[in-house]
Amino acid sequence: MKESPESIISRVIELTRIHNRWRRTETINLIASENVMSPLAEYLYLNDMMGRYAEGAPGKKLYQGTYFMDQLEQLCCKLLAELFNARYADVRPVSGTVANIAALYAVTEAGDLVASLPISLGGHISHRKVGAVGVLRLRTVNLPWDNDNFNIDVDEAVKLIRETRPRAVILGASVYLFPHPVREIAEAAHEVGTYVIHDSAHVLGLIAGKAFPNPIEQGCDIMTASTHKTFPGPQGGVIFTNREDLIEKLDKAVFPGVTSNYHQHRYPSLAVTTVEMREFGVDYASQVVRNARRLAEALHELGFRVLCEHLGFTKSHQVLLDVRELGGGSKCAVLLEQANIIVNKNMLPGDKSPEDPSGIRIGVQEMTRFGMTEQEMERIAEFFYRVLIKKEEPSRVRRDVIEFRRSFTEVKYGFRPDEFNLTELTLLELKK
């Protein structure tokens, strides 16, 4: 017998309600690729643009009815270009991966060679043959790695670039503790006509807040990013460049190359988030980095194997744990989730399997948005200790996690709707 519409919809509503309560008020979310928008940005996210099409560039769209969407798109691009000191910004890519595909499509042809980091060394899947690079029929060569400095080996990378002359080098990473040597790589790459693409998806908010170097200012040709990781906006992508000769190529790569519709409903929220980062970004980003470092120190003090102690553990929002002696990344991530601590298993240098890696990747940006500081990082480290080293029953720890989290449910470093006297704006408020 078919389930009734009322029953299905009731279940959908209840699952959504439970998820919202669980993730927003009962868990410690430490996924390094996630964040929350401000109340104002969330308020604006539900709007009529979610069902509209707008192929093309502002003022040249192939559909009618885009006048106001075009203005919002142009405003987003202007605000982001100013914030990141770039001549050009394009917010039409619907994700960071789509931005990467567009960037590569603009400067490469099938069969070209691309230098990037393997996934086990932090490279994102879109940098490799299993992702965007493979989709575009590109060949790959591995950037040399210096494990002592947990970074690209500059001398060997320069040598590789000069010898192999790749069409593009992809910097930036999914595991990204320390800034990559953009300036040195760019100098060598430009000597042989190689483009440098920096994937800033994870660190865009830190760059905006002056807590991480700006690759555009260091000489990269194209910077791509997501707008929802350390940059706490709606899910989406963005492309930047300072090279006038690449603007038209990037425009065409985005449309008609790899996108059609751009999910315009995110534009109001993205504009608001960009203004928030302009106003609050320095304080937010500096606190993120301080929190990451203190969490790493506290975990180390409690006996965890935290990577890169000799380098100060981290200069970003991320912390890496080697938990192979505690059962491995998969097992530890599940145990922590049972205690309402959300992390992701992650490959470390030397790992062979992404399904059973030896590491855990931690990001502190979302908890920083909820007002946590160094003191709270110490408490979080204690929860880790109780679950993974002391082997305490996760359900017991979960009760304490929920109680702890109740004091941190208000998003900081952003605006609220009541600050702007908003009425009759969102679809929820439209009068019949």
pLDDT tens profile 294-353: 999 999 999 999 999 999 999 999 999 999 999 999 999 999 999 999 999 999 998 888
Beta-bridged to residue 142, according to DSSP, are: 116
Domain 42-273 is found in CATH 3.10.20.30: no
Q: Residue 423: what pLDDT?
A: 60
- Per-residue pLDDT at 432: 41
For residue 424, what pLDDT is reported? Answer: 56
CA distance 182 to 198: 8
Under a CB-based contact definition with an 8 Å cutoff, are residues 206 and 316 in contact? yes
Rounded to whole angstroms, how far apart are CA atoms 356 and 396? 26
Residues 76 and 82: their CA atoms lie apart, in Å, by 10
Q: How many helices (H) and strands (E) does the chain have?
A: 15, 15
**pLDDT value at residue 420:** 87
Q: List, for the chain, all residue ranges whose pLDDT scores fall below the cut of 70.
A: 423-432
Instruction: Using the structure block, give the residue that is written with the tokens 């963005």.
Output: 238
pTM of the predicted model as reported, rounded to 2 decimal places: 0.96
